[in-house]
Structure 1
Amino acid sequence: MSLSTLSPHRRVVAVTLLIPALVALALWAFAWPAARTAPRDLPLGVAGPTAATAPVEQRLERQEGAFDLHHYADEAAAREAVEDREVYGAVVVTGQGPKLLTASAASPVVAQLLRQAVTQQTSASGSRVTTVDVVPAAEGDPRGAVLNTSVLPLALAGIGAGAAVTLLGLRGTRAVAALAGSATLVGAVAAALAHSWLDAVPGNWWTVAGTFALAALAMGATVAGLAALLGRAGIALGGLVIMLLGNPFSGASSAPEMLPEPAGAIGRWLPPGAGVSLLRSVSFFDGAAAAGPALTLTWWAALGLGAVLVGGALKERTRNTRSASEREPAPVG
């Protein structure tokens, strides 16, 4: 039953209750993770001899649940772990004092948090911390603002493409072609702006464009697939998943490990979060840790496009069956 079939009185009640409910949901989805941002099992390396690193580990572990510590034999191993996106940073204990390795490209917010935390932990001993940004953010976007804000336009592009395909009545292979073509152009436009013009997303231009395109396709296919199976209600459901869950739970402005659970875990498995993670990997880390988010986006795209084809086939079969029944002559006598 749709809202248009309700009586005027019930429509007034529905609008009166529905809008505040949507506002409450949006505020919860966006404000809750932002208000509870803090490190939760944030991967952090500690490098050096065990006897020398033990006091550092003990001080870091006092912040219960904040860090997931990984031990490395020396600075070279810790640096490699940062470059491979195994950890967000590492504390290296040297004879000249502690050294902090960070990767602002992975998250400027996390890099700043690590500097503050390690400096605070070592200030009691009178040591000065030397900080080395192993994988720095782009010179044109040192705070990662462009990468962070790219999530919303991609989400809007995906929702818009899925809705347009549905409302224009495209089905089957035509719908798949429209979604793929739209995503390809979105990827090219996004790369032209973020990579070529703003110089905020480095790396190979085609790889960056392909990442943007795959993320847009995953989101557009999700919305169109749900609409193909559920009708226009699928557009609303897909929009809620992409915009009200995927966008704020993506961890784009900080990191998934900085969000309250289960927001961080959910965000990793939704297209916006996977898209941001893949974009960081291919732009700054030579593809390190790219397999997981790439596979996530591929699954969303494949399932969505599959639903589009299945939904189109079912509607075509229903229409053919109805047409055949209408053509059958009525029995005489």
Structure 2
Amino acid sequence: MDDDAHEDTGGPDEPYDAPRERRRRRAGTIYGPADGYERSRDEPMRSRLKDVLGPRTIGLLIGAILVQFGFIASYVGAFHDPQPHALTVTVVASHGWQGYVSNELNAVPGKPVWAYASTDEASAKQNLKDGKRQAVYLFNRDGTKDTLLVNSAEGSSITAAMETIFHQVATKKHRTLAVNDVVPVQKGDERGLTSFYLVVGWLVGGYLMASLLGIRKGPKARNFRRVLWRLFGCLAYACLSGLGGAWIVGPLLGALTGHFWAMAGIGMLLSMCASIFTMGMEALFGIIGVGVSIVLFVVLGNPSAGGAFGYQLLPTFWRVIGPWLPNGAGVDSVRSVVYLGGTDIRFHLAVIAWWLVVGLLALLLVSNNTYWGFTQKRPVSDDQREPEGMDARS
């Protein structure tokens, strides 16, 4: 009879599966949890509750729910009731009519437009093409048919709002209105939203790369050279991100054609901004730093970027912060390069670079404190002490 048959009964104090476990060990196979883990039944209930309901876990859950509520409040608050606010328009007429019409438009309840009087049609059109005005209203004093010049490259929401406002004005005054788009969007850029989605993709890729690297390797590098390697990784990733994004929307899909290298450069800067800022926040706050980046780039940045709705259609808070965040500056940069001849591009790029520098400074300051020890005092161990009477220079 097989010896295992005598062992299958087990002793009275052995677990019910002890004979099976002995056979598996004899066969060279061990089943059960990996090293460092344990069976659920072996973990005390008190230890389990302490881990699940501990302050750190509760704090992370509270942080996550606050970010979620912030996301909902920010997007719904920005988009639930878009209203035009001080859309700039130049009224072109002569013989004093330009001033009269401008005053009439500025007196519209709610101040949806801010009208400027002019007699120079060419200058007014140039301001429209440069993005300094949202429309030009050509008032015909000798007839009842007026013309509204718009710039759809500023976003379809702005153009639609302008057309609605001036059609209402024309109907009220028993006049007709013709609309002419002097800066139309490219054929593949329907509603002018490609720049917004492109910038969102660049930023998401940047902070996602930094977040995954922080989770895999830890929020802080083990030494300063590894910090430099992480920065080099950000640069390499940014190059691929910028070139890939510009290629997808350009040669591949034909959404934004031309200006390939300029758009690739903007994408590289945006990707580096998102990744280095996230790394800096991780170095300062640990895993919570990822939440800080999500708040900046997703909760606040996306709804205020002037993509789905232009700045002038957003509530005051989002309208004010939009141009000063990387999302809004990125969208403005792409539109400036593709449609507006580079107008104000330096300002938009400076905003992105400023956020990049903030993240870089945070990362380097934490590195200074962690690796170089300028602000730390550590006791010297006995084996590091020099023998008494020895000259330190010898």
State the TM-score, normalizing by the size of structure 2: 0.75
Structure 1 residue runs of 5 or longer lacking an equivalent are none
Q: Deviations over 1:198-236 (max 9, x none)?
A: 222234110011112212222222111222233332222
**SS at 1:156 equivalent:** helix
1:33 to 78, 81, 104: 78
Relative to structure 1, the CA distance from residue 141 to residue 329 in structure 2 (aligned partners, 3 Å threshold; closer, same or farther) is: closer
Which amino acid counterpart does residue 64 of structure 1 have in structure 2? Answer: G
Please show how residues 238-317 of structure 1 align to structure 2 within 5 Å.
238-317=293-372
**SS at 2:344 equivalent:** coil
Relative to structure 1, the CA distance from residue 253 to residue 50 in structure 2 (aligned partners, 3 Å threshold; closer, same or farther) is: farther
Structure 2 residue runs of 5 or longer lacking an equivalent are 1-47, 388-394
Q: In structure 2, how many angstroms separate the alpha carbons of the residues matched to 1:17 and 1:307?
A: 25
State the TM-score, normalizing by the size of structure 1: 0.88
**1:9 lines up with 2:53 in the alignment:** yes
Which amino acid counterpart does residue 260 of structure 1 have in structure 2? Answer: P
Aligned residue pairs: how many? 329
Q: Deviations over 1:169-195 (max 9, x none)?
A: 554322221112211111111101112
Relative to structure 1, the CA distance from residue 74 to residue 329 in structure 2 (aligned partners, 3 Å threshold; closer, same or farther) is: closer
Q: In structure 2, how many angstroms separate the alpha carbons of the residues matched to 1:5 and 1:242?
A: 35
Q: Which moved more, 1:272-281 or 1:208-217?
A: 208-217
Match of 2:13 in 1: none
Conserved? CA contact 2:368–2:374, under 8 Å: no
Quote the offset at 1:311 in angstroms.
2.4
Query: Greater RCO between the two (CA within 8 Å, min separation 6)?
Result: 1
1:140 to 179, 188, 208: 188
Which amino acid counterpart does residue 211 of structure 2 have in structure 1? Answer: A
Relative to structure 1, the CA distance from residue 180 to residue 72 in structure 2 (aligned partners, 3 Å threshold; closer, same or farther) is: farther
Q: In structure 2, how many angstroms separate the alpha carbons of the residues matched to 1:35 and 1:154?
A: 26
**SS at 1:101 equivalent:** strand
Relative to structure 1, the CA distance from residue 215 to residue 83 in structure 2 (aligned partners, 3 Å threshold; closer, same or farther) is: same
Q: In structure 2, how many angstroms separate the alpha carbons of the residues matched to 1:298 and 1:327?
A: 48
Q: Percent same amino acid at aligned positions?
A: 21
Q: In structure 2, how many angstroms separate the alpha carbons of the residues matched to 1:16 and 1:218?
A: 28
Quote the offset at 1:248 in angstroms.
1.4
Q: Comparing both structures, which one devotes a greater share of its residues to helix?
A: 1
Match of 1:43 in 2: 88
Larger Rg: 2
Which amino acid counterpart does residue 129 of structure 2 have in structure 1? Answer: E
Match of 1:221 in 2: 276
Match of 2:241 in 1: 186
